[in-house]
Amino acid sequence: MPAVQETVERVRRIDVDQYRYGFETLIESDKAPKGLSEDTVRFISAKKNEPAWMLEWRLEAFRRWLTMTEPTWARVNYPKIDYQDIYYYAAPKPKKTLSSIDEIDPEILKTYEKLGIPLREVAILEGVEPPPGGEPSANRKIAVDAVFDSVSVATTFQKELKKAGVIFMPISEAIREHPELVQKYLGSVVPTSDNYFATLNSAVFSDGSFVYVPPGVRCPMELSTYFRINERNTGQFERTLIIADKGSYVSYLEGCTAPQRDENQLHAAVVELVALDDAEIKYSTVQNWYPGNSEGKGGIYNFVTKRGDCRGKNSKISWTQVETGSAITWKYPSCILRGDNSSGEFYSIAISNGYQQVDSGTKMIHLGKNTSSRIISKGIAAGKSQNTYRGLVSAHRKATGARNYTACDSLLIGDKCGAHTVPYVEAKNSSATFEHEATTSKISEDVLFYCIQRGLSQEEAVGLVVNGFVKDVLQQLPMEFAVEAQKLISISLEGSVG
C-alpha cells in the first residue's frame, strides 16, 4: 500500500514537528564546570548553602556511583553517555534577591507563559474553563513550583498553603529550613545505592519539590511542579520528596518539556513518596520532553526512579502517567505496600512515535497483610518506535491476602514499530491472588468500518477508538491534566492511520 504508507510518513513528519515546546529561552546562566567529580558535587552543595550532612550524603552516593555500572536489561539502545561531557548545574543568573514574582527575569516569565504555566497566582491552568456561574472555587487552584534547569525559580501559593500547615517549597530550601524532615525521609524510599541513575541523582541533584502534609490535613489545592530543561549540554537531576503524614491527602502533578535540539540531554530524576497511616498520595505526570526529530536525532534521555512507600496501614499511593515525550524513557513508578491494608495503583498511557524508545512499567511489592494493587497500562506504538511494558508484582511470605489485578494492552499503528510486554509475577504466599492479562492488537477493521459507515472520517474513527482505549487511564488524571492529556494524545496519533 505505497500511497497509504506515504501518508503515514508525511503525517508522522508533521507529528514530530508538532512539538510545541521546542523553543529556547535566551538567558544568561550560571553553570558548574563541565564534567563530574567530587568537586562538582561540592560545587552544587555549596551553591545551595547546604549543611555538612547533606554534602556528606552526596559524596557517599558519588563514591558508590563510581563503583557501579550502567544497567543494560531494558529494551533501549543508545550510544554510550559521556558523563564528563555534561553540565551538572545550570541556573539562570539572578539579577538580585527576589522578593516577589515580578522580579523574576521577564524572559523566564515569558517562557512559562508560552508553556501555559501560571507563575502568577492565577486560579486555573490554561485550557480549563471556570465552572459555569463565575469564579473558580478554591479547590480548583493549583500551586506551582517551577524548576528551570537546575533551580526552582518560583513557587506559588506558598502563603495560602502555609495556613493549612502544608509545606511546599523547593527541596534546596527544605534542606535548610526543615532539615529534620528531610534527614528523616530523604533516601528512605530510594536509597542512595538503589540503582545507577538514582545514585547519580543522589550525588548531583540540584533542585526539585518538597511537600509535607501534616496529620489529618487534606491539601487545599493541587500541587504541581513544572520541569523545564533550557540550557545546552545540561543534565537535569531533580529530586522530589513528598510526605503525607497520618490521615492526610495530597494530589500532585508534574509536567516536563524541553527545547528542540540535535544533542541528547540526560534527565535522571528521583521521586520518593511516603504515605503514613491512612494517608493518600495521588501523583500524576504528563511527560512531554522533546522526543527527538523524525530521524531520531536529539531528544531527552529520561532515566527516572519513582517509588512510593505505603509505610502506614490503610495508606494509598496512586501513580498516573501520560508519557508522550523523550527519546528514551526508562521509568518504573513503583509502590512498596508495607502497611497492612495499603493499596497501590498505577495507570499509564505511553505513546511512542518516530524513533522513540519506551521501557516503562511498575513494581507492586506486597509486604503487608491484605494489601492490594491495580495496574492499568496502555501502550501505543507508532512510527518506528519500540514500546515496552515491564512490570513486577510480588507477594512476600507474610503478605497474606495480597491482591493484584493487572491489565496491560498494546496497540500498534503501522508495521515498523514494536510493542512488548514483560511481566514478572512472583507469589510466595498461598493467599495471594494475582491476575494478569494483556493483549496486543491493531485497531480492528470492523470497528473502524462501523464508525466510518456512520459518517466519521478515518482519522476521527481512529481517534474515537484510541480515546476509548485509553479512557481508563485518563479518568484517573486530575481535571487540569486530563485536558492537557487529551491534547497530547491527539497530537501523537493524528494521521497515524495506516
Binding positions for other proteins, rule: CB under 8 A = 73, 397, 410, 412-442
H or E stretch covering 41: helix 38-47
When the beta carbons of 243 and 393 are compared against other proteins, the nearer one is 393
DSSP-derived secondary structure letter, 109: H
The distance of closest approach from Cβ of residue 156 to other proteins in the complex, given in angstroms and rounded to an integer, is: 44
**C-alpha pair distances (Å), 18 with each of 10, 15, 25, 493, 495:** 12, 5, 18, 11, 12
When the beta carbons of 431 and 458 are compared against other proteins, the nearer one is 431
When the beta carbons of 262 and 435 are compared against other proteins, the nearer one is 435
Nearest to 301 by CA among 14, 155, 64, 85: 85
The distance of closest approach from Cβ of residue 67 to other proteins in the complex, given in angstroms and rounded to an integer, is: 16
Amino acid at 249: Y
- DSSP conformation letters of 114-167: HHT---S--SS-TT-PPPSSSSPPGGG-EEEEEEETTEEEEE-SHHHHHHHT-E
The distance of closest approach from Cβ of residue 26 to other proteins in the complex, given in angstroms and rounded to an integer, is: 43
Query: Can you tell me whether residue 213 is helix, strand or coil?
Result: strand
The distance of closest approach from Cβ of residue 325 to other proteins in the complex, given in angstroms and rounded to an integer, is: 23
When the beta carbons of 124 and 422 are compared against other proteins, the nearer one is 422
Amino acid at 34: K
When the beta carbons of 78 and 424 are compared against other proteins, the nearer one is 424
The distance of closest approach from Cβ of residue 436 to other proteins in the complex, given in angstroms and rounded to an integer, is: 4
What separation, in Å, do the N-terminal and C-terminal C-alpha atoms of the chain show?
9
The distance of closest approach from Cβ of residue 425 to other proteins in the complex, given in angstroms and rounded to an integer, is: 4
When the beta carbons of 35 and 401 are compared against other proteins, the nearer one is 401
Q: Is the Cβ–Cβ distance between 398 and 428 less than 8 Å?
A: no
Distance CA 143, CA 266 (A): 27
The distance of closest approach from Cβ of residue 36 to other proteins in the complex, given in angstroms and rounded to an integer, is: 27
When the beta carbons of 398 and 471 are compared against other proteins, the nearer one is 398
Residue 487 CB-half CA count within 13 A: 15
When the beta carbons of 92 and 391 are compared against other proteins, the nearer one is 391
The distance of closest approach from Cβ of residue 402 to other proteins in the complex, given in angstroms and rounded to an integer, is: 10
H or E stretch covering 364: strand 363-366
The distance of closest approach from Cβ of residue 470 to other proteins in the complex, given in angstroms and rounded to an integer, is: 18
Contacts of 430 (CB under 8 A, 6+ apart): none
When the beta carbons of 81 and 425 are compared against other proteins, the nearer one is 425
Distance CA 64, CA 401 (A): 38
Contacts of 454 (CB under 8 A, 6+ apart): none
The distance of closest approach from Cβ of residue 332 to other proteins in the complex, given in angstroms and rounded to an integer, is: 16
279 grid coordinates: 494517608
When the beta carbons of 314 and 353 are compared against other proteins, the nearer one is 353
Q: Is the Cβ–Cβ distance between 349 and 470 less than 8 Å?
A: yes
